[in-house]
A and B are shown apart, each in its own frame.
Chain A
Amino acid sequence: GAVVSQHPSWVICKSGTSVKIECRSLDFQATTMFWYRQFPKQSLMLMATSNEGSKATYEQGVEKDKFLINHASLTLSTLTVTSAHPEDSSFYICSARLRTDTQYFGPGTRLTVL
């Protein structure tokens, strides 16, 4: 149990286009989902906290107009990278909180912006 999926697993896009990444909790309902960004050989950087039915809370320094987060249901959150540029290329990982102190992570999405 406690499986989180992400789609797509990798995506290549042209500079200036927008990309949507989906995060789903497959066998449980998650009131809270988190979005992280990971650069090569580095730790995870929390971008935002997404609660179902409300606006996401962004960490300091994360542009909310660039990284749009929608948490439409208890099993789905989406991250849209708008007007992507090469510096947005990264590994994006989501997680879903099942109980108060446990997060389960998706497999990640590799974004490459040309």
Chain B
Amino acid sequence: GDSVTQMEGPVTLSEEAFLTINCTYTATGYPSLFWYVQYPGEGLQLLLKATKADDKGSNKGFEATYRKETTSFHLEKGSVQVSDSAVYFCALLLPSNDYKLSFGAGTTVTVRA
């Protein structure tokens, strides 16, 4: 079935460090790919998305490129801040699956000052 595998955490970084969270997917068809962020005690916020191969999603300094050849959608940020501390979820969506989102396990990121 369709699934998402993302890098296990937790990840602890210092401010201004480079962040990468790996995400790979398995899907029958051509999924849309997403990164969602969850701050403590809150729901999920859409961080960025890409709907086809080679698309790059970007927002708030975060980027991810839809790589069909490696079935990946890795999240990157060049210089993290304390406010980026959160849980990050990679997800995929297929119209053939009633537009349901399939989530990865989530990666907890803590940025220290």
Contact = CB atoms under 8 A, between A and B. Distances in A.
Interface in A63-114: 93, 95, 97, 100-108, 110
Nearest to B101: A103
Main secondary structure of the interface of A (DSSP, over half): strand
Interface in B50-98: 51, 89, 93, 95, 98
A92 B43 CA distance: 9
A32 interface: yes
Interface residues of A, number: 24
B43 A100 contact: no
A31 to B, nearest CB: 10
The 10 closest A-B pairs by CB, nearest first: A105-B44, A105-B43, A101-B32, A107-B43, A108-B43, A43-B103, A43-B105, A93-B43, A43-B106, A106-B43
Interface of B: 32, 36, 41-46, 49, 51, 89, 93, 95, 98-101, 103-106, 108
